[in-house]
Amino acid sequence: MRVMVIVKATKNSEAGILPGDPRAPEGFDELFEKMGKFNEELVDAGLMLAGDGLKPSSEGKRVRFSGSERKVLDGPFAATKELVAGYWIWQVKSMDEALEWARRCPNPMPGEDSELEIRPVYEPEDFPAEVAEQDARLRDSIDARK
């Protein structure tokens, strides 16, 4: 099963703090080394399919849908605890395995309370055959472009 592991945003991630920033809390510079090692473990175990950190919501946009209307909203967005600072896509045997790995993760936001959310990804077999077939065609087209 695939899962998305969502790193929830915090005040510091929304401030765009990177290594070397004088605003960074203690232990922040070491985070990138620790997270790099953790990512290597995920890759070596054959679990990590993708993963990235996201820039602050101040650099983002939202498109709000209301019927046929589309409204573009500029960041930053309120409710930091509901925002996403990064993600991984993992291939695991079970939710229990995903939880085991998540418990091994370094605190993604040193100096702050932080949170990971783990969500199963829909797989083609979860859908009717015609939807799964379309999904397979689209994935093949994407793979062909690589």
- Backbone phi, then psi, for 86, in 5-degree steps? 180, 180
pLDDT of 141 reads: 85
Total residue count of the chain as it appears in this document: 146
Rounded Cα distance between 72 and 61, Å, is: 7
Beta bridge partners of 5: 88, 118
Nearest to 27 by CA among 94, 120, 108: 108
Given a cut of 70, the residues of the chain with pLDDT beneath it are none
pLDDT of 136 reads: 81
Rounded Cα distance between 54 and 95, Å, is: 24
pLDDT of 49 reads: 97
User: Between 3.30.60.50, 3.30.1320.10, 3.10.350.10, 3.30.70.1060, what CATH number should domain 2-145 receive?
Assistant: 3.30.70.1060
H runs (alpha helix) in 45-116: 95-104
pLDDT of 134 reads: 85
Q: Which two tokens stand for residue 100?
A: 């085991």
pTM above 0.85, yes or no: yes
